[in-house]
Homo-oligomer: A and B are copies of this chain.
Amino acid sequence: MNNTTLKLLAQQLQLSISTVSRALKNHPDISAKTKAKVQALAQNLDYEPNASAIQLRTQTSKILGVIVPAIANLFYENFLAAIEEESRNNGYALMILQSNHNAENELNNLKIFRQNRVSGIFACLSANSENLDVYHKMIEQDMPIVFFDIVPKSNAFTKVRMADERCGVLAAKNIIKRNAKKVLAIFGDPALSISQIRKTSFQNLMMDLSPKTNVKYINATSSIEAEEIFKKNYNKTAKLDTVFCMTDEILIGVMRAIQELQIKVPTEMGVISISNGFIPNLYFPVISYVETSGFQLGKLAFTQMMANLQTGKPVDELTVEAKLIEGGSM
């Protein structure tokens, strides 16, 4: 479809292809009259430049690639929404590929990106992607790559992530403020650095500022698991009075239990989580949470990408600040 080309326009106007090309982009060499004629016809014939031809000629594409574990995810979908918006506003198109947390898929996706000569890549590592050789190789060949969320440890890479230390600290502070006596703190997959960071910062602050608070630390990797853990640790005699949920997944499980056991929030139980806010707002009272916005992270990632694209490669690690949003659950 749409086969209007510069050549066609040139023929119809009895002009050369180069003149038409220049007329279309307001080149000073072309007179106002010709420009007008050319642009009018182009408009009429629905001319749209062929991106492939341009990329071939100029050796630069206006396409950015993103690898995300899954599109259908409360966090990533917001990240994607942000970079899509930014890309579009900056003349780039986005190519989004899912890895399903699978290293093999990840490699395949990278291959697709290379075939399409994307000019930059946003990458979120698969949980099991040990081998970063591909990335190293691509970076050596000047491919801008911005890692987000699940990022490599090496600081030879450009990365953006949430200020996870602050997340842990803010949550812990709020728990202390509530004067909690007995806390259940559920963290995510212990293999992920994000879990480790949040836990360490939480734990450190807790021990520093309120060493006598009784805190039990457990990890859960699914909402079901979180639900079971909560039920197991809750009973009238235990007098659990506060629960901390590191992720939305965990919060969902805990809240299912709380609803089932008909525990009153916040009087009988304080609840606090780390989230982008969507899930906490489903409940009454709204759950207090430390905000981690995929949307904001996306914005940050994009500015990093642009900087990277324009000025060589500013290798560093940027974080987006976290803040506490008070619901009525504490």
**Residues of A near any B CB (own CB < 8 A):** 1-2, 46, 48-53, 55-56, 61, 63, 70-73, 77-78, 80-81, 84-85, 88, 93-98, 105, 108-109, 111-112, 114-117, 137-138, 141-143, 252, 255-257, 259-260, 279, 282-285, 295
> Which residues of the partner chain B approach A52 to less than 8 Å between Cβ atoms?
51-53, 55-56, 61, 116-117
Q: How far is the CA of A141 from the CA of B2 in the complex (A)?
A: 7
Kindly list the 5 A-B residue pairs having the minimum CB-CB distance in the complex, ordered from nearest: A1-B141, A259-B284, A52-B52, A72-B77, A260-B284
Copies in the complex: 2
> Which residues of the partner chain B approach A88 to less than 8 Å between Cβ atoms?
97-98, 105, 108-109, 112
> Which residues of the partner chain B approach A81 to less than 8 Å between Cβ atoms?
70-72, 98
Contact A1 B282, beta carbon cutoff 8 Å = no
Q: How far is the CA of A259 from the CA of B265 in the complex (A)?
A: 11
> Which residues of the partner chain B approach A282 to less than 8 Å between Cβ atoms?
252, 255-256, 279, 282
Task: Add 14 more A-B contacts to A84-B96, A256-B284 (CB < 8 A).
Answer: A1-B138, A49-B115, A52-B56, A52-B61, A71-B77, A71-B80, A71-B81, A71-B84, A72-B78, A73-B77, A88-B98, A88-B108, A93-B97, A255-B282
